[in-house]
């Protein structure tokens, strides 16, 4: 499973309004609710699970990338949202640098292997310099989605 498999244009926020990781998580979960991946009544519970995971250790992995993630029994399939911040988000990242690309993903509870494989796949494509440069200049969510699909297919 790769990023192109779990994203749609509706799950991409081309310019995050967030200035910190908590706001970014809220904004991306909002995109998942809007896309029908999370029910509105489960929004707060899912947000709490992701934030609890984030409090244990920041998922700002460095290089301008954040990958907040969690497992929950409130979804039945892997779901993801992707956001870009040209100005950068304070994510308490490992390298103390602002985060410009945030990929939030959720995995159904009990699917540990799927969780690890999804995380590894996302991290792999996000480490590609050509992918990051292309996303930096993409004008909108549709262009960003096309880039994700192109690079996910060639990983």
Does residue 69 carry a catalytic annotation?
yes
From residue 76, alpha-carbon distances to 41, 111, 155 in Å are 15, 10, 26
Helices (H), 40-127: 43-56, 112-126
Cα 24 versus chain centre, distance: 9
Residue 65, SS3 per DSSP: strand
Contact 98, 64 (CB under 8 A): yes
69, 100, 115, 117: the catalytic one is 69
Sign of torsion over alpha carbons 98, 135, 137, 10: negative
- For tokens 């499973």, what's the residue? 1
Q: Name the nearest CA neighbour of 69 among 23, 136, 141, 78.
A: 78
Residues with catalytic annotation? 69
């Amino acid at each position: 499973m790769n990023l192109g498999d779990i994203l749609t244009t509706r799950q991409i926020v081309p310019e995050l309004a967030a200035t910190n990781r908590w706001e970014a998580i809220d904004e991306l979960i909002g995109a998942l609710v809007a896309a029908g991946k999370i029910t509105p009544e489960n929004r707060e519970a899912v947000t709490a699970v992701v934030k609890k995971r984030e409090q244990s250790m920041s998922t700002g992995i460095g290089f301008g990338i954040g990958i907040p993630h969690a497992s929950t029994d409130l979804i039945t399939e892997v779901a993801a949202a992707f956001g870009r911040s040209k100005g950068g988000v304070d994510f308490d990242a490992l390298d103390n640098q602002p985060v410009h690309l945030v990929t939030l993903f959720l995995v159904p509870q009990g699917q540990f292997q799927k969780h690890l494989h999804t995380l590894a796949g996302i991290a792999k494509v996000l480490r590609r310099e050509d992918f990051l440069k292309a996303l930096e200049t993409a004008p909108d969510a549709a262009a960003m989605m096309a880039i994700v699909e192109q690079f996910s297919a060639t990983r």
